Amino acid sequence: MADFEQHIAESKAQIEEAQQRISDVSSRIQTARDKLEKGQDISVDIENATLEDVHSHSEAMNANIAELIMGLDDVTAGFSEDFDAMRTKSGWEKLIGVFSKQRSESLRQERMRTASIDDKLQDLISKSDTITQLLEGQLGVLNTHKERVETNLTSTLADREAAVGVLEDIKQKLMSMDPSIIELENKISVETGAAARTKLESQLAKLNGQYNDLAQQEQVKMAESQTLERYIEKGKSWVDSLQNQAATQMVLINKLQTDTKQRVVLYDALTKSLKTAQQQDVAHQINEIGVATDQEAQSAMAAIGSATNQRMAEMMEKHEDHMVFARKVLEEKAKSDERFARRFEEIVEKHDKNAYGA
């Protein structure tokens, strides 16, 4: 329990740090957007919005949580062993049975009655819920930041579309001016009259001035378009990163939720199995009593037998529905385990080989 609490504390600290790093990147992207609207340079803000440290920390955080989940799986696997131990007599009970079969059976019945399997199941479910709450909180943060960045991207894409439109218009104007400039330059080259030549040169100077103004506007718009493009690329990368991180959180949440269903089904199946074994023991004991009982005892046993038969009939009627549900849960678990193993292949391999610290 202490190890789990320590592991959870570490996971909480990692998640808080991950959220801070996510917030830092989103803030830089938002700051860049604010500067864009004011016409300020955003190059520094965009370059500082690095994703690598976020990715590396998120991987470490998710690996830590994946190990927690694998630990819960190990505890679940021990359930069957606990029930097997309850179904059979302990060494001490077998020893007592040599001297008193009745006393031996009494000790086993008492041990079964006071067994804390239900407490262990509830503890597992509680631990699963604790991890799930952490993951759902992180998933909420990821989705919130993704929505903010997507909103900014929508505005920026519209801005760049407008900038590209203006840029194309400027280019068209420049291209349309080229023939007129060439024509004037040709006229000047063959003109011999001073007055006419001066007039043509004035026209060319005016046209060149307009051309230079447009060329300068083209450079400004080109720089604006490139800046917007860098912002958009960084924003797209961040959205993709947030989506991938969210996908990982959903895989972990899905596995935990499916595992919880499977644990309840397993517990239910094992409990029914244990009760059936206990009922069989009682039936054998009743049979050994024989016919040397009075009428009142026979009536009581008959009532017990009738109630037991009725209960067994109800259990048999419900068995099909239970099996269908159990099969469905097992299918869901197989799918969630496959997704989990695919995303955390390295962690699963270490766990299976017990290769921690290797």
Question: What is the C-alpha to C-alpha distance for residues 123 and 75, in angstroms, rounded to an integer?
Answer: 11
Q: What total number of domains does the chain contain?
A: 1
Q: pLDDT tens digit string along 231-249? A: 888 888 888 888 988 998 9
Is residue 358 assigned to a domain?
Answer: no
In whole angstroms, how far apart are CA 171 and each of 159, 164, 221, 225, 227?
A: 18, 10, 11, 14, 19
Q: Which domain holds residue 250?
A: 2-353
Q: Do the beta carbons of residue 59 and residue 17 sit within 8 Å?
A: no
pTM recorded for the entire structure: 0.68
Is residue 37 assigned to a domain?
Answer: yes
Residue 140 pLDDT more than 90?
Answer: yes
Residue 319 pLDDT more than 60?
Answer: no
Is residue 158 assigned to a domain?
Answer: yes
Q: pLDDT tens digit string along 1-46? A: 568 888 888 888 988 988 888 888 888 888 878 877 777 766 666 6
Q: pLDDT tens digit string along 61-116? A: 888 888 888 888 887 777 667 666 666 777 887 888 888 888 887 777 777 666 65
Is residue 125 assigned to a domain?
Answer: yes
Residue carrying the six token digits 């995303």: 343
Q: What is the pLDDT of residue 142?
A: 92
How many residues are given for the chain? 358
Is residue 110 assigned to a domain?
Answer: yes
The first and second tokens of residue 123, run together, are 């503890």
